[in-house]
Chain A
């Protein structure tokens, strides 16, 4: 029995987990659901020793344990399979399975025969089939996941955490995975199963718990509740209040600022949609829905994906983000630190980088005074809290960093802005400010697209919502249809999904 009691975990400016108590029995599948940011991942990272809880305790069979790194939690019999696999692509399956805990012969050399035999036995035990001797890079995603499962369970494993294991699997592969989970159950392994796909939970789990905003709001047998009940528990709060009222854009009257046709990923349906002047178009979907990929392809970040784009009534080519920007289409990336900010640079440099070519005199020389004027204007308009525009951007809080990125694109005078997760990981106050700003932009006649995994945000903010799943649009919702039940339904594959 694995017990978490009164776990609280704080990060600067945010309480990620607030007094959460959960338990997991051997041979039980315990589903954990909640929106993005509800605290599921944080909880699992505490289990694996990546984070330490600020308060509360972790017990195994009644004995308190304190893992401080992954290796320690593994020794305690807790193994976690994250969404991002931790396999070395160029090593083959059994080398990955035994990585760092290789079996050696008496001479100290690698005993590959013993390792192969042990791996083979594990495969038989779980009724899995994949080649042990080819580099894992050549295996399918599902096979790589199998490697991870064997790796996690080949030594002592009493508790296994599966973080969104089905996000990137085909329905057939999901079925196969569930058979493996059943076998693990029979072997006495307790599983935490994290998934956004509610129908799967009713198929595989015994127990289900709901987290919302870091709080534990529900635990019960899966048979005791319905999918709708779970969704309302996940979404929970009154969602409309935090948002400024929608403007109620006339549906067909407004001309589309952009029409996208036939954007298509290999193996997916075509994506076609339009954005109207003055509206906020939401894009909802679960992990693996390819929302970010679609819009990166749209602005030409991946020129190999073909599409047809009409912008302000005229067909245009978008072969690079540069070209998109010259047409007035800007994309604000979801990952601030990785693809958004220039961390070593000042706030000023971060704001003006897309605009600096315009802040020049006749000789093409940059005018520092113009740069300062522009960045100061946006620091003020975005209410970025800083003592100087020369402060290094890495020293700002997440919310202020996000505002710096938004300022960069506002400064570039775009006609259409694509915001990818504009409020991820920032505090409530900054969120509200960003919402107001998004509505102002739409009111000024810009096209605004908001890609978001935050359901209340999509519901409270957007005039129309595209729901995506596996690289295609499954529904376009308007008006009263924009609610969490409908979005979840289409996003998780209901209604002929």
Chain B
């Protein structure tokens, strides 16, 4: 649960004093990623003076926002021990539907967004229904749901981007309180997820389902509902990401967000959430997403080719997971 996860793998006492607090922080599984994030930022700022500028840093957070928001829903799913491969397809479906509602049906932006986001939640709930009701493996169900929404988006747009007017670009392009709006939305989504996971009973149940499903059932938790919910949440956050993307690109993109599910999973895992469920923290996911974003940005800045970047990203993911495993083993 919240405090179980927060207390990390080695320290179980309530942190007292600075030393205790420091120890508890170091023991947290996402600490590795946090250190990596800092080291990466320091190194890059030496190699390119343009890195450590407000503009660039804000730019990174905007670039990260899509993956970050999707990773929030993915955290819910992975905490229950599941996986959601359908999020990229839901981004695309939400994006095309929203653009269609604006361009072809004359919906106002807010209404189109609302419908698209709720539609995303429902699409996620479809996966959740099959997973919860028939106990089908999440990886198979969401693999199928990777195809269906994507296909529907392609049918609807005939495979072409569906443009919308420039005036609808404010969400993707404007700033509020000095922050890019996508960054702001991402922070709100993370804050809401933090609240749900740590302060609502349902958040406890999410951890419980992943921690021990049989025990959760016998403890009177309606695990099927929880499972349905987490996939709906995942579809919901994916559609929010789709909304931002549509506004930023000024078009509904049926071919967008291919492979984004893997980035989202990577962010969750880098954030220290156990892929088997039951353990993890939403703040870790934010760190994981930022790490991926900074990595992209810094590899660009030092002029590494996109091909090499993939190799480096893969290696870093592998090392991070290995360190996490070793730390967990040694703390036993």
Contacts and interface: CB of A to CB of B under 8 A. Distances in A.
Contacts of A301: 217-218
Contact of A345 (B4, B13, B222): B4
Given A353-B204, A366-B204, A339 B7 contact: no
Given A340-B215, A341-B212, A341-B215, 6 more contacts: A333-B214, A353-B219, A354-B221, A364-B201, A365-B200, A366-B204
Contacts of A348: 3
Contacts of B217: 301, 320-321
Contacts of B219: 321, 325, 353-354, 408
Interface of A: 301, 320-322, 324-326, 330-331, 333, 338-346, 348-349, 352-354, 356-357, 360, 364-366, 368, 387-388, 390-392, 395, 408, 412
A390 B13 contact: yes
Q: How large is the interface on B (under 10, 10 to 19, 20 to 34, 35 or more residues)?
A: 20 to 34
Contacts of A331: 218
Given A365-B200, A390-B7, A343 B211 contact: yes
B211 A321 contact: no
Given A321-B217, A322-B222, A341-B215, A346 B13 contact: no
Contacts of A343: 211-212
23 contacts: A301-B218, A321-B217, A325-B220, A330-B220, A331-B218, A339-B215, A340-B215, A342-B215, A342-B278, A343-B211, A343-B212, A349-B1, A352-B204, A353-B216, A353-B219, A356-B201, A356-B204, A387-B12, A388-B13, A390-B14, A391-B12, A391-B13, A392-B12
Interface in B229-287: 274, 278-279
B204 A349 contact: yes
A344 B199 contact: no
A163 B110 CA distance: 69
Given A365-B200, A366-B201, A346 B222 contact: no
**Which residue, of A344, A360, A392, has the highest number of chain B Cβ atoms within 10 A?**
A344
Nearest to A368: B3
A301 B3 CA distance: 30
A299 to B, nearest CB: 8
Contact of B211 (A342, A354, A357, A368): A342
Give the secondary structure class of A's interface. mixed
Nearest to A338: B214
A321 B219 CA distance: 7
A345 B211 contact: yes
B221 A333 contact: no
Contacts of B218: 301, 321, 331, 333, 339-340
Contact of B12 (A322, A341, A388): A388
B12 A342 contact: no
Contact of A346 (B1, B215, B274): B1
Listed from nearest, the 3 A-B pairs whose CB atoms lie closest are A325-B220, A349-B1, A342-B211
Contacts of A368: 3
